[in-house]
Amino acid sequence: MTRRPVLAVLLLGVIIIASLSFYEIYYAKPPSCQVNPAGSVIKSQTEKVQFGAVTEYNLPGPNRWPNAVTSAPDGSVWFAEEGVPGTAHFFPVNGTVVEYAWPGHSAPKLPYCSPTASSSGIVLWNGRAWTSDQYGNSLVGISPIGGTPVFVNTTGTANSPYWLAVGPEGSLWFTSLDTPAKLGRIAPDMTLTIVNLAGLGHDEPFQLDFVNSSLAYLSTLNEFPNSTTHACTCNGHIYTFDPSSPSTTITPARVGGGYELVLPTSVRYSSGSLWVTQHGASSIVRYDLIAKSWTKYPTSTVPWSGTTLPLVIEGSQGKIWFNEHYANKISLLDPGAGTLTEYSESNPPASNYTDIQNDLSIAATGGGLWFTSLSGNYLGFVSSSYDPGVHVSVSGTNAAAIPPGGSASFELNVTGNWSGPVKVTASDSEDSSSKPNLIQIIPSVSAIPVGGSPYSLGLRLVADQKTQAGSYTVGVTLTNGGVQQTAYFFIVVK
């Protein structure tokens, strides 16, 4: 099965296209299909816009459709432009962007200006910026000196190349959305080897994360129709394998037992744990490799959707970055503090589907996170040093064990400065929407009034008699303009 996951093109009004077996809605209205000549190299200036923690760099010309993104050691940024189609090199110091249009590719045409390339993976390898092209069954390597391209054709061997990753042995690896399940591996001498994946059943490889020379993790998606209901299975798994194996057939081992993951699109190793996005839910999950236990972290919720669609996850300096596609947010989770900060990608923040700017790719750096806005037509950066004004922390314990029908009380400490009331909302891990159901989350106030800091916010959790035994995570969120601050509490119902 060959398809384009996590991406649909929506132009001239509203079109809904099936993607990942549920519906993603994209909005845009192209005035024209401004294209660069195939094979051209064009240097331009971006337009800079700042608000809160976010800096947007508007791209020169409409409908660039920026997607895959990665940062370079020199501080510059490389990203794919599906609407050119080509690869772009951005320099934050002066706002310059150099666009390398791939030769031999047809340009988008009116009335829709639909991209003729699909690029979800990009890495720096072997002296070039390499980008996947799912539509063209190829990988494209662009030299930063002169822009000379190199193509690797995967037609008939590993169709629909998707995610790229540099292996510890120096090869370029990629996932293929072709069947049966396989990975591609390109050696430094440009020799292409196909690595068949045995034992995956209907799972399709999606994203790779290399930890060291003998340890790699793979996220997979299972969208195979249920034999009875014919509905999408819409789950997936995390696997591990040894990338140093010389065999062209590998049988990956499943991680985490029978835990049910909802479309795990991305996996990242960090400090002894695996972090996984659940694209069909409003939460990410953590698998502790020592304790062999899963913990779910709900995001804040949005009124227009039952899922915030977390997509890609990255670790940096002990913290976890991820994007929330339907919420139009970039999120930073601090596992040590037990807090989550969510930054709106737009000003004002999104309030319905039409405000979604379709951020599909992220790249963490030491000072923050780069992201691309597919229909917003810009490259964005979120600064991790930004002070949102309001800060949350748990006062005392953040965990309790209660019986069905029982309750527990907690206290949240709020510090900083706020010029208006701070709204208090809640989420939990009962189901994929992260919207509370049988567990009541009762804050002492629904909005923290303007006043002195610190402020003590009381919290009472009540488990209904029907609440099933198990572990649950509760998030209490304070909203201050375009930033949400969440503190997590962990309860066991038994």
Q: In CATH, what number is assigned to the domain containing residue 33? A: 2.130.10.10
Three-class SS of residue 353? helix
Confidence band, pLDDT 50/70/90 cuts, at residue 229: confident
273 bridge partner residues: 270, 288
Q: For residue 29, count other CB atoms closer than 10 A to its CB.
A: 11
Q: How many Å apart are CA 77 and CA 369, to the nearest integer?
A: 11
| Burial bucket for residue 462 (CB in 10 Å: 0-12, 13-18, 19+) | middle
DSSP secondary structure code for residue 292 in this structure: T
DSSP secondary structure code for residue 262 in this structure: S
Cα dist. 295→155, 291, 428, 491 in Å?
Answer: 40, 11, 12, 11
Say if residue 227's pLDDT is above 80.
no
Say if residue 316's pLDDT is above 70.
yes
Q: For the segment 324-364, what is each residue's pLDDT rounded down to a tens digit?
A: 999 999 999 999 999 999 999 999 999 999 999 999 999 99
Which tokens is 130 given?
């390499």
Q: Tell me if 376 is assigned to some domain.
A: yes
Give mean pLDDT, residues 308-330. 96
| Burial bucket for residue 120 (CB in 10 Å: 0-12, 13-18, 19+) | buried
Identify the pLDDT of residue 4.
38
Q: How many Å apart are CA 349 and CA 412, to the nearest integer?
A: 25
Q: For the segment 370-422, what is each residue's pLDDT rounded down to a tens digit?
A: 999 999 999 999 999 999 989 999 999 999 999 999 999 999 999 998 888 99
Q: How many Å apart are CA 111 and CA 30, to the nearest integer?
A: 8
Q: Judge whether 488 and 333 are in contact, CB under 8 Å.
A: no
Q: Judge whether 217 and 240 are in contact, CB under 8 Å.
A: yes
Identify the pLDDT of residue 9.
34
Say if residue 451's pLDDT is above 80.
no
Residue 355, phi then psi, degrees to nearest 5? -90, -5
Listed in order, strand segments (DSSP E) in 134-191 are: 138-142, 149-153, 161-166, 172-176, 182-186
Task: Examine the domain organization and report whether 375 and 466 are in the same domain.
Answer: no
Q: For the segment 132-175, what is each residue's pLDDT rounded down to a tens digit?
A: 999 999 999 999 998 999 999 999 999 999 999 999 999 999 99
pTM (2 d.p.)? 0.93
Task: Examine the domain organization and report whether 211 and 360 are in the same domain.
Answer: yes
Task: Examine the domain organization and report whether 358 and 414 are in the same domain.
Answer: no
Identify the pLDDT of residue 419.
85
Identify the pLDDT of residue 453.
85
Q: Tell me if 146 is assigned to some domain.
A: yes
Q: What is the distance of C-alpha 268 from the center of its chain?
A: 11
Task: Examine the domain organization and report whether 87 and 32 are in the same domain.
Answer: yes
Task: Examine the domain organization and report whether 339 and 440 are in the same domain.
Answer: no
Q: Tell me if 3 is assigned to some domain.
A: no
Q: Tell me if 181 is assigned to some domain.
A: yes
Q: Tell me if 89 is assigned to some domain.
A: yes
Q: Which of 320, 353, 383 is the last residue of a domain?
A: 383
Q: How many Å apart are CA 71 and CA 65, to the nearest integer?
A: 18
Q: Nearest CA to 244 among 158, 191, 171?
A: 171
CATH number at residue 394: 2.60.40.10
Which tokens is 219 given?
């996220």
Q: Nearest CA to 53 among 382, 469, 337?
A: 382
Q: For the segment 187-204, what is each residue's pLDDT rounded down to a tens digit?
A: 999 999 999 999 999 999
Say if residue 30's pLDDT is above 60.
no
Domain range spanning residue 78? 13-383
Beta strand pairing status for 253-255 and 235-241?
antiparallel
Q: Tell me if 470 is assigned to some domain.
A: yes
Q: Which of 362, 383, 404 is the last residue of a domain?
A: 383
Task: Examine the domain organization and report whether 378 and 413 are in the same domain.
Answer: no
Name the one residue in this structure whose structure tokens are 């629904």: 446
Listed in order, strand segments (DSSP E) in 177-265 are: 182-186, 192-197, 204-212, 215-222, 235-241, 249-250, 253-255
State how many domains the chain has: 2
Q: Tell me if 5 is assigned to some domain.
A: no
Beta strand pairing status for 192-197 and 249-250?
parallel
Q: For residue 116, count other CB atoms closer than 10 A to its CB.
A: 19
Q: Nearest CA to 427 among 333, 303, 323?
A: 303
Which tokens is 78 given?
């490389």
Task: Examine the domain organization and report whether 347 and 410 are in the same domain.
Answer: no
350 bridge partner residues: none
Task: Examine the domain organization and report whether 75 and 214 are in the same domain.
Answer: yes
Q: Tell me if 356 is assigned to some domain.
A: yes
Say if residue 231's pLDDT is above 90.
no
Task: Examine the domain organization and report whether 367 and 453 are in the same domain.
Answer: no
Beta strand pairing status for 470-480 and 390-394?
unpaired
Cα dist. 45→184, 202, 424 in Å?
Answer: 36, 46, 41
